[in-house]
Amino acid sequence: MTFSAVPDFINSLLNNLYFILERFNWWDVVDLALVTMVFFVILLLLRDTQAMVLLRGALLLIVLISLLTSLEVLPAFSWLVRNTLPAMLLAIPVIFAPEIRRTLERLGRAGDIMPTGRAKTDSQDAIVAVVSAAARLSERRHGALIVMSRTDSLDEYVSTGVLLQARVTPELLLQIFYPNTPLHDGAVIILGTRVVAASCVMPLSASGVLTRSPERQMGLRHRAALGISEVTDAVAVVVSEETGNISVVHGGRMIRRLDAERLENILRAFYRPLEQRRGLMGLFTRLFPRRSGTSREEN
């Protein structure tokens, strides 16, 4: 393109823009707003997940393939892309299956605005017991994983452990997680004020959060805590066996290096009466929880 052709190009571009704006109406504004909203929601749901990395790679590959297929000097490559594109589209749900499932589960939980029978208001006693036990386990450097149920059912994971159905107390939790006892491996599941089961198997997280941590003392307990928080709305309390650090995990986010006071404040915030979270703002908060970082460390 020569310099003399630049004004003609600009005039042609302005004429095209004028042609489009001349036929623009309010329905077009609504249409564009809906499309923008769809992409905005998708990006929010995929934020801080492994799917975002895959999405960037897929977009880069699509742009590169589009540029190459637009060249008339590459007919064989264009034929290959046209014939393999349907198979690539069918492969997308397979590649993104975990992220699609997690997104649909989050949407399903967000639609449940009204509290269910599993959302106990008497969980404050359980919080006191968990905080006391976590502090004492931290002092002794006894590893522990305590999963506290909220509104999602954990029956699938209860069935993998040993049923207890006992009232939660600090002494019971200390006994369960005493090293080399039969129930110290796995997680304890608490529903309301009762320890439902111990030695339960939790799903392990594959999000890669722990590999990006500046410290590498986090092992299977932390991966299991992240995993259960990614597939349910439960709150997990982890005590590190190596360092004695206390962590809280919820919604795929981890807050580390907590003392007893901070731990109690965070747990009470999670178990406020659900009536405070009704309405559109509650729905939006549950769809798009605030993310100040996937893992936070407290000094």
pTM: 0.60
Q: Which two tokens stand for residue 38?
A: 């769809």
| Paired sense of beta strands 295-297 and 194-200, if any | unpaired
CA of residue 136 relative to chain centroid, distance: 30
* pLDDT per residue as tens digits for the range 202-228: 988 866 665 555 545 567 899 899 989
* pLDDT per residue as tens digits for the range 44-61: 766 655 566 666 767 777
pLDDT of residue 29: 81
Using alpha carbons, select from 132, 152, 111, 117 the residue that is nearest to residue 286.
111
Using CA atoms, how far apart are residues 174 and 125, in angstroms rounded to an integer? 16
CA of residue 276 relative to chain centroid, distance: 22
CA-based end-to-end distance of the chain: 60
In the chain, which segments carry CATH 3.40.1700.10?
A: 124-297
Q: What CATH architecture is 124-297?
A: 3-Layer(aba) Sandwich (3.40)
Phi then psi for 147, rounded to 5 degrees?
Answer: -110, 120
* pLDDT per residue as tens digits for the range 119-163: 444 578 899 999 999 999 999 999 999 999 988 788 889 999 999
